[in-house]
Amino acid sequence: MSTQPRPVGPLHKVLVTGASGLLGAGVARELVERNLQVVTLQRRPSGVAGATDIEGSVTDPAAVRAAVAGCDTVVHIAAKVSVSGPAHEYDQVNVEGTRNVVTAAQDAGVERFIQISSPSVAHAGNSIIGEGAGPADPAAARGHYARTKAAGELIALGADSPHFRVLALRPHLMWGPGDTQLTQRIVDRSRQGRMPVLGPGAALVDTLYTSNAVDAVLAAIHAVDHTHGEALVVTNAEPRPIGELIRGLARAGGSPEPRLHLPAGLAKVAGAVIERIWELPVAGGKDRDDEPPLTKFLAEQLSTAHWFDQRRTQQVLRWRPAVSIDEGLALLTEYYRMR
């Protein structure tokens, strides 16, 4: 890590990959609002007014080179995010795709590179209680997503230098209006009576409200000028019991609170069995295109504590979450009420 690197040029033109997703679109819109030139690269239109949209995949080196041309900064968010599916699909996007973006950025003379990673890259299934980021470990990571995101983070940080400054951010359990990965699933499954609370639901868990995540990424773009070569977990710094969070999200979405309770040990065993079933091809030999209702990784996430010391993150980013969990739940309630 370097704390006093040589000066870099002004922030002028930024590439955001994965801008059709909630975080990427939010970051791209905020950059446009700040009168920066913004290029987005994703497989479908981003919908970000004022940005130059390039439809393509990070797995296509030519598309990546075209997108990064003339940029001084890259925010790499594009990833395959799921809990099931063939391993090669995760490798293709999260490992080789990241390698493509890093290589193209270096060749194009990019000076700042923000890698959006995940706390799961350093989670081996045990509780995390007030720890820092910890090193990414593909060998110990749980599941294809965590393993490949760990490998991608190592590729990005391995390229760090005074001329190519890399900072990895690990947003933890992002939720809020428009989020389909966590929020909508909890709301839908609670409405269907399929959202379990494991054990007593007392494990303390950190989360991150969506607008706070966007603000943290914007802060990182400036922070990488003075601190780089490391990973930072980003959260609201408000650990809450997992059962309380699940019930709060369900209520905000107008769903009944979950009444399904399962022993954590049983859920982990069941999740492992379901994972194996989901790996089997369906009729016609095709891979499944839906997600399993439970996996071992998901059971671990729902039953173990994972909250993080945010002092280093807030020091480096010079940032604090603007929206508290309670404020976020109120905003989420209003969002669903207006739909």
Q: Which residues are catalytic?
A: 145
Q: Is there a contact between 245 and 179 (Cβ–Cβ < 8 Å)?
A: no
Tell me, rounded to whole angstroms, the distance of Cα 252 from its chain centroid.
Answer: 22
Count of other CB atoms within 10 angstroms of residue 269: 13
Decide: helix, strand or coil at residue 113.
strand
Question: Using CA atoms, how far apart are residues 119 and 232, in angstroms rounded to an integer?
Answer: 9
Query: Which of left, alpha, beta for 317 (phi over 0: left; psi -120 to 50: alpha)?
Result: alpha
Task: Give phi and psi for 41, each to the nearest 5.
Answer: -130, 120
Write the burial class of residue 283 (CB in 10 Å: 0-12 exposed, 13-18 middle, 19+ buried).
exposed
Decide: helix, strand or coil at residue 139.
coil
Question: Using CA atoms, how far apart are residues 69 and 72, in angstroms rounded to an integer?
Answer: 9
- The residue among 196, 175, 209, 210 whose CA lies nearest residue 302 is 196
Contacts with 290 (C-beta within 8 Å, 6 or more apart), sequence order? none
- Report residue 140 as tokens: 């110990």
Q: Tell me 287's DSSP state.
A: P
Count of other CB atoms within 10 angstroms of residue 284: 5
Q: Is there a contact between 74 and 112 (Cβ–Cβ < 8 Å)?
A: yes
User: What residues pair up with 241 in beta bridges, in sequence order?
Assistant: 204
